[in-house]
Structure 1
Amino acid sequence: MNGEDTVRQRITDLTRRAALLRKELPESAAEVDAANVDTTFAMRRIWEEGLFAFCLPHRFGGINDARPELYTEDFFRIALDIMAGDSSAGMNFVVQALVTFEIFREGNTLPESTKVEMARLIRDEGVRLCASNSEAGAPGPVTARRVEGGLVVNGTKAFNTNSGGGGWASVGLTLEGRRGRYNALLPLDQPGVTMKHDWDTMGQRGTHSQTIVYDEVFVPDGYHFNGNGASPSFLSYVFLMHAAIMLGPGLGAFDAALDYVRKLDRPSFPEFESATEDVLVRRRIGGCAVDLRAARAFLLDTARRIERCDLDEDPTELFVEAFGVKVACIRAALSVTQEIFDLTGARSTANKYRFDRFWRNARTFATHDPTDAKEVWIGDWYLTGKEPPMAAMLRV
């Protein structure tokens, strides 16, 4: 068996494991939503099934060599199954992947010894990774100054998805005397790091995307770095991650609705003997299935385009297509998460089912950036060929 056959066999196995997690995780997802706590159990299970290793370099036992343009469609098939099982855990999982790319990207200035240690922590101990970047609503930029043996970091980051289980953060910051973005890699349990536990939203509650304050936090040399820029396809990849986060609640809601209707088997009108003979039930199920499958197919088709992307070609068309995928996934998820109650009926609104979490999760993440603006930029591209503004691509 050659190397490619071995990789394909591993991917097949990981895909099978993700499909099983899709069935396993909904129970804990409902509990996490009710308690407004971190998705600790789900993230541990995702790690135990070997999925944290997907984005590691080959030399550390990974699949796609920390390159988003390798095995892109396979990654998103896996991510979508996790999202369907628990959309908060799925969002945490894709953040884990993004920070893994950042740490192990070829050409950044992290030493090999640091990469060896981080790979061990991720692969063998299930250490979780937080992308500590957003300063929306924060008092000012996070900064660092050089001291003997390292840096000292100060400031506040507003949204820190995947930080509820501790782990490490890759903190985007401004370094005194240096232009451009810089990063510090630090454990969240060290002195000077205060996690506010203030994540209290109506949806995506298990992401525990809390505020973190850094107060004179020391980062030793070897754990701070500058990146070497992203590949032309990377921003499109990020938008596909956003789309997957959106589509997950729709897929999960559809799974839950089918299970509920089959078990209850109650038609909408007495002239039908069962739910399976009820044409209105079948019509709604068919409509939801079409919307979800169309959005999923659009996402996976664009993932294949990322794999085939020529580094010399203009990436704008791919950016615009990725925008379109996100819009399609938002539409499908919001529609399906509302329509399931027409399938399941009033009894399904009982809190013990927590079916409303699917809509709350979808509606919450849909507010990340305005869908109307995406549609305007897409329309402008097709009508006039005008490129979307850079702000549309880099919003955090």
Structure 2
Amino acid sequence: MTATNVHTAPTYLRPATATDAELSARFQPVFDRVAEGSVTRERNRVLPHEQVRWLKDAGLGRVRVPVEFGGFGASLEQTFVLLADLAEADANVAHIWRNHLAFVEDRLNAKPSESNNRWIQRFLDGEFVGGGWTEANNGTFASLKTTVRKVDGRWLVNGAKFYATGSLYADWLDVLGKGDGDAVLTALVRRNHPGVRLVDDWTGFGQRTTASGSAGYTDVPAEDGDVFPAAERFVYQGHFYQTAMLSVLAGITRAVRRDGISALKARGRNYPHALDPEPAADAQLLQVIGQVSVHAFAADAALRASSRTLDLIAAAHAAGDEVARKQRVLEAEVATAQAQLAIIEAALQATTTVFDALGASGVSENLSLDRHWRNARTLASHNPRVYKARILGDWLVNGKDPVPDLTRFGRGGQGD
């Protein structure tokens, strides 16, 4: 990365140059390695530190960084499809990457500066960012108790967070806090500072190894270039976080298709009232697997369609076209909500109905097929899909702006 290249454009964003084949050739072998042992890790709550390191070494953290700066030049659509590929291998590992990839996107959208140049270099060096937005103890964005304030000329972070996904694997933590007055600030702090306390106390029945637990901060310092107003974060940030979660759900749906096929082939006997004594030749059981494949197809198609709308926002922002950007944010809001409804429904249906093709043997703990439903149900609970169809209908029928007013009640965080 050179200073000349960085300062010839208003952001670090560039048109995508990667091909699907190139990205698959680089990352799919690593994803295949991650898949090995995923059932054992899930069953025994073994944190995938080694697997995350493989992905760092392969460069997943810089996949969106343009080639001219040392990355791989992937589009957002390609990035989210890659994340779904990883989720097919291990849904926990894929979810760990959500906050890091979002912060990379944030810095790519930012104005070139020496501090942002350093962040691009950190991404190239494999440094990893974990999350720290959601307030502990049911706090909201409207009632932030975490503070980011200057004391004797130094920025210090104090507070408590939950849903700190990926933090145990991180080098840096992305923390949201209250500044002076009504200012809300983002601070990036070193994970290994003695004032940082991370606890793997996530009690959810799914996504057990994502380290989505508690984080505490006591006088943790941040450098001047690593503190900036939260209002300056990239405009499609909420869409990005949601789409990352949808990528994991799409990957889970594919994994159900894969495991359902394997389990049906392995069945040794069938019921007396079945259509064929061989389960793999029973037309009704084949129909179940066929329907599961439809759910996987629908999830993949919805993911690609919605993530393409984010590429359009990024292109408008890079071009400085604020009129187009505003319109594309609205279009992305609609597409992301539609994708959320479609993908969650596909994932929950697939992870439930697959058992209709498998009989009692399908519930064996040795197969751990229940992990797919548990993980899908957990991810689906992070954001309120129950409201989305109503909002879409109000937009389509009455023209009511579907872009949410995040100040109305105060948000809990990126995913709650």
| Class of the TM-score when normalised by the shorter of the 2 chains | 0.7 to 0.9
Contact 1:193–1:214 (8 Å) recurs in 2: yes
Deviation of 1:250 after TM superposition, in Å, equals 1.9
Which residue of structure 1 lines up, in the alignment, with residue 49 of structure 2? 40
Corresponding residue for 2:398? 384
| CA RMSD across the alignment | 2.8
Residue of structure 1 aligned with 2:86, choices 82, 88, 101:
82
Q: Secondary structure at the match of 1:131?
A: strand
How does 1:57-68 map onto structure 2 within 5 Å? 57-64=66-73
Task: Provide closer, same or farther for how the CA distance between residues 353 and 61 of structure 1 changes in structure 2, counting only shifts above 3 A.
Answer: same
8 Å Cα contact 1:239-1:323 kept in structure 2: no
8 Å contact kept, 2:133–2:175: yes
Aligned-pair CA distance for 1:262? 2.3
**365-374 vs 103-112, which deviates more?**
103-112
Secondary structure of the 2:163 match is strand
Query: Which residue number in structure 1 is paired with residue 345 of structure 2?
Result: 331
AA matched with 1:219: A
Match for 1:160 among 161, 164, 186?
A: 164
Alignment match, 2:105: 101
1:241 is aligned to 2:244: yes
1:295–1:332 contact (8 Å) kept in structure 2: yes
1:67 maps to none
CA contact (8 A) 1:14 1:50 kept: no
- Distance apart, 1:243 and its partner CA: 1.6
SS of corresponding position for 2:288: helix
- Does the CA-based 8 Å contact 2:98-2:241 persist in structure 1? no
TM-score w.r.t. the length of structure 2 is 0.83
1:152 Cα deviation from its structure 2 partner? 1.2
> Equivalents in 2 of 1:18, 1:115: separation in Å?
23
Post-superposition Cα deviations, 1:6-57, rounded to whole Å, max 9, x if no partner, equal 9435x52222344445544334322222222422233123223332220234
User: Is 1:301 aligned with 2:305?
Assistant: yes
Is residue 369 from structure 1 mapped to residue 391 from structure 2 by the alignment?
no
Change (3 A) 1:234 1:176: closer
Unaligned runs of 5+ in 1: 65-69
1:131 aligns with 2:131: yes
Q: Is the CA contact (8 Å cut-off) linking 1:73 and 1:303 kept in structure 2? A: yes
Q: Residues 266-286 of structure 1: CA distance to partner in whole angstroms, max 9, x if unpaired?
A: 545565143332101110011
CA contact (8 A) 1:173 1:183 kept: yes
In structure 2, the partner of 1:72 is 76
State the one-letter code of the partner of 1:345.
G
CA distance in 1, matches of 2:189, 2:50: 23
The one of 210, 214, 218 aligned to 1:207: 210
Match of 2:281? 277
Classify 1:306/1:194 alpha carbon distance in 2 versus 1 (closer, same or farther; 3 Å): closer
- Asked if 2 retains the 8 angstrom alpha-carbon contact of 1:109 and 1:226, the reply is no
CA contact (8 A) 1:129 1:169 kept: yes
Instruction: Identify unmatched segments of 5+ residues in structure 2.
Output: 1-13
User: Among residues 49, 52, 56, which one is paired with 2:58 in the alignment?
Assistant: 49
Distance 1:290 1:48, change over 3 A: same
Instruction: Indicate how the Cα distance of structure 1 residues 247 and 120 shifts in structure 2: closer, same or farther if over 3 A, else same.
Output: closer
In structure 2, the residue matched to 1:317 is 331
Amino acid at match of 1:30: V
Q: Distance in 2 between matches of 1:194 and 1:231?
A: 28
Cα deviation, 1:210-231, whole Å, max 9, x if unaligned, reads 1101011122333323367355
SS of residue matched to 1:155:
strand
Q: TM-score, normalised by structure 1?
A: 0.87
Match of 1:357 in 2: 371
Distance 1:327 1:339, change over 3 A: same
Higher alpha-carbon deviation: 142-151 or 16-25: 16-25
1:339 is paired with a residue whose SS is helix
Q: What is the Cα deviation at residue 148 of structure 1? A: 4.1
Per-residue CA deviation, residues 146-183 of structure 1 (Å, 9 max, x unaligned), is 13452111100111001122421011111225x43312
Which residue identity is paired with 1:52? G
Deviates more, 1:33-42 or 1:285-294: 33-42
Q: Alpha carbons of 1:24 and 1:280: their partners in 2 closer, same or farther (altered >3 Å)?
A: farther
Contact persistence 1:73–1:304 (CA under 8 A):
yes
Could you tell which deviates more after superposition, 245-254 or 77-86?
245-254
- Which amino acid in 2 is paired with 1:95? N
Counterpart AA for 1:164: L
Matched position secondary structure for 1:204 = coil
Aligned partner of 2:34 in structure 1 is 25
Distance 1:152 1:236, change over 3 A: closer
| Alpha-carbon separation, structure 2, partners of 1:166 and 1:362 | 24
Per the alignment, do residues 172 and 109 of structure 1 end up closer, same or farther by CA in structure 2, a change over 3 Å counting?
farther
Q: Which residue of 2 aligns with 1:171?
A: 175
Q: Which amino acid aligns with 1:362?
A: A
**Is the 2:102–2:237 contact (alpha carbons within 8 Å) kept by the matching residues of 1?**
no
- Name the SS of the counterpart of 2:99 in structure 1: helix
Against the structure 1 CA distance between its residues 149 and 116, is the aligned structure 2 distance closer, same or farther, given a 3 Å change threshold?
farther
